[in-house]
Amino acid sequence: MSSLVQKVKEYLNRGNARSVAAKKNIAGSFLNKCIAIFVSLALVPLTINFVSSEQYGIWLTVSSIVGWMSYFDIGFANGFRNKYAEAKANGDMLLARKYVSTTYVLLGIIFSVVAILALVINQFLDWGKILNLSEDYNLTLVFDVLIVFFCFQMVLHVFNTLLNADQKPALSAFIVTIGQILVLAFIVILTHTVKDGNLLLLSWILLGIPCITTLIISIIAFNTKYKSVAPAFRFVEFGLTKNIISLGIKFFIIQISMLFTFQLTNLILTRVVGPIAVTQYNVAYKYFSVILMVINILLMPFWSAFTDAYTRKDYIWMKNIFRKLSLISFCSILPLTIMLIVSPYIMRWWVGDSVTFSWGILICMSIYIWILSQSTMSMSLINGIGYLKIQTIIYVVSAILSVPLIYFLCMKYGILGAMIVPTVVYLVQFIFAQVQLRKLLNCSAKGVWIK
């Protein structure tokens, strides 16, 4: 009888400890994210003034194209996150260190090859014609800089993934915040010292500074707090690749599918409507996504916490958290409505007359962000558990249909048309994710719901 009581106490203590850790991380992340939100919003008008509204739109398109290279991680980062959390939950820190070392080496190899191939191919591409721009823009060197820094950043980001897997997302957010503050400082200085800003200089600042920041902090951390799991060649075990990739490949398929559904919007808008439309779309997104950032602050600790809880079969704790997060994400409709009502005044104060917005853009973007926040909440918890088949099927189907649909709707309705397909896809994901989560947490999931 005493052993049963002891087990119950341990069970409750684990759940309480997990909740306390989550609350601490949310508190820490909140401050970091508040600063990050302020910096992100401040960067928009400063960057537009540093270059121009048109060049800012081109920058957004160019950087999103280079961002597609992130999908070459083949899902290693997310697969590593879950496997590290599982190893730690089971108390096997040697295995955790092997996962860290192996992931660094594998991503280092992958993105070295990607960088070399991308740099070679870039020399033969005429980005002016591809993006339907005037002959004044020669973007080859800009792409070269972005490719090098982005591939380097993908390897360095393993440390941020490690922090999230270790249920310390506040530290991960802190690194990002420090990088963004430094970026803001450099932009402010250059705005007052450089007469004519350009995309090349902007590339060095916006990608180079965060890379250097992450590198320095990760080196310090691996020599202090995380010395026990610091990467080393002697701990590289390529046999673990199968464990990482078995889950990671599902994330990879999802990411590739999301590329066609969500990440091609800037390119299509640039070609069909023009670079200024990209600026309008992204500035409106940044404004309303403040709510999404807050939702992500709440979600940050729970991906890996759900991995830990599901490994230990702590269904009571998971149900409780799921219920609370669902309520919070649903209630985000209230602040979004307030933001929509005051948006014309905020936009005019924020970016001035350099960018204009119709009510249609603002209303559609607010609806899109609300549906995205609902979907993000549900899918983050499912990602922590690791059953991704339904999510994968929906994204693959949407990837096949999205590009022609977005292109057609964009030609017909402009920016508003570009929002329709992503909104519908996230709505479908939200509905299926809700059903799957309830089945998983009630232990009634069968067939495709538990794959």
Residue 127, amino acid: W
Backbone region of residue 91 per phi and psi (left: phi > 0; alpha: psi in -120 to 50; beta: other values): left
**d(C-alpha 210, C-alpha 221), whole Å:** 16
* Token output for 294: 């807050």
Task: Render each residue's pLDDT in the chain as its tens digit; 451 residues.
Answer: 444 444 434 444 454 555 555 555 555 556 666 676 677 777 777 777 777 777 777 777 777 776 666 656 666 777 787 788 888 878 888 888 888 888 899 888 888 988 899 899 888 888 777 777 766 667 788 888 888 888 888 888 888 888 887 877 777 777 878 888 888 888 888 877 777 767 778 888 888 888 898 899 999 989 988 888 888 888 888 888 777 776 556 666 776 776 666 667 777 887 787 777 878 888 888 889 888 888 877 777 777 778 778 877 888 888 888 888 888 888 889 999 999 999 888 888 887 777 778 888 899 899 999 998 888 888 888 877 878 788 888 888 887 888 888 888 888 888 888 888 888 888 998 999 888 988 888 888 788 888 7
Q: What is the DSSP string of 212-272?
A: HHHHHHHHHHHTTTTGGG---GGG--GGGHHHHHHHHHHHHHHHHHHIIIIITHHHHHHHH
Task: Specify the residue for token string 């099927």.
Answer: 393
Q: What is the DSSP string of 91-110?
A: T-HHHHHHHHHHHHHHHHHH
Q: Please, are residues 293 and 31 in contact by the beta-carbon 8 Å criterion?
A: no
Name the nearest CA neighbour of 217 among 300, 81, 209. 209
Has this prediction a pTM greater than 0.85? no
Q: Please, are residues 349 and 268 in contact by the beta-carbon 8 Å criterion?
A: no
Q: Which distant-in-sequence residues (6+ apart) come within 8 Å of 140 by Cβ? A: 122, 123, 125, 127
Task: Specify the residue for token string 């490719």.
Answer: 147
First and final CA of the chain: distance in angstroms? 37
* Token output for 126: 């005429």
Q: Which distant-in-sequence residues (6+ apart) come within 8 Å of 165 by Cβ? A: 80, 81, 82, 84, 85, 88, 304
**d(C-alpha 449, C-alpha 451), whole Å:** 6
